[in-house]
Amino acid sequence: HLLLLTLSFSVSAQISQFKATFIKAQQENKQVTVILTNGNTYVGSIISVEEESAGVETKDGVFNFRYDRIKNVKIYNPDDKSTGWRDNPSKNKLFITQTGKMLDKGSGYYQNTFIFFSNFSYGITNGISVDAGFSMFPGLGIENQMFTAGAKIGTSLNSTLYVSGNIKYYRVFDIDEGITSLFGSITYSKSQLDLTASTGVGFADNSSSNALLILGGQYRISERFAFLSENIIFPSGDAGSDALLSFGGRIIGSKSAFDLGFFGIEEILFPFVSYTIKF
């Protein structure tokens, strides 16, 4: 009963905040950006503010938005065009690894990498998400494919700092002993720039690896495109280290994202291709 009461209070507080934003925009004769739970984004002027919904006149016509169908609403700033941009479906990850940001409650995505690798992620709450993945190599039986399962918890410390912890299990092909990884991430987010630092270790056969360090970032230059970099620094022999460096871009759709980049280590360079669709 306490959990239901807490959830009910949280939803009620959020709806009150949405309504207050609509009222403020109407009083100040300003436009708003409305992001719905299905990912669609609208910019327009306030026509009416009712108990359960608000009327907004957009370039596509007048819409009556129910508060319980709204993910976020903010006052549109004409001097900052990014306030009218659609949400980034892949805001919680770089090319491969996770950032400090979380999936929203009830949202998820399917990611396909190199055709042969599939992964599903889902936000149970705003602070907890789960994921599972598998490979699909032709000619190999199901017992020789790779399987993964993981969970992630996180929160925002303030409007610019996000932290998360991630645990993931890997069953690699026909190897009996699986691998488990533990990672922690912190992301600094300001305007359209996200900078992420992560560290983690792997466990297998009752032993652990030395810690990896991941440094990455995402810079969104327009509504539909962002530059992306993910750099993995891992220990090597004689107290040295090697680095897997990457750079590329992300094409952002209303419910999808297409990543294209290149990873390089020493003199070896190989492409990275991935497609993400939100559900």
How does pLDDT run across 95-134, given as a tens digit for each residue? 999 999 999 888 899 999 999 999 999 999 889 999 999 9
With a CB cutoff of 8 Å and minimum separation 6, the contacts of 54 are 18, 19, 22, 46, 48, 64, 65, 67
* Domains along the sequence of the chain with CATH: 2-84 (2.30.30.100), 108-278 (2.40.160.40)
59 or 12: which leads in pLDDT = 59
**Is residue 194 over pLDDT 90?**
yes
Residue 149 confidence (pLDDT) above 80: yes
pLDDT at 88: 86
Give pLDDT, residue 225: 96
- Considering the entire predicted model, what is its pTM? 0.78
- Residue 241's pLDDT is 79
**What proportion of the chain, given as a percentage, has pLDDT over 70?**
94
Indicate the pLDDT class of residue 5, thresholds 50, 70 and 90.
Answer: very low
In this prediction, residue 271 carries a pLDDT of 96
Look up tokens 């109407």; give the residue.
26
- Distance (Å, rounded) from C-alpha 224 to C-alpha 222? 5
pLDDT recorded at residue 237: 66
Per-residue pLDDT for 253 more than 50?
yes
Percent of the chain's residues with pLDDT above 90: 56
Cβ partners under 8 Å of residue 70, min gap 6: 18, 34, 35, 36, 37
pLDDT one-digit tens code per residue, 28-65: 999 999 988 777 888 899 999 998 899 999 988 999 99
The mean of the pLDDT values for the chain is: 88
Is 203 within 8 Å of 181 (Cβ atoms)?
yes
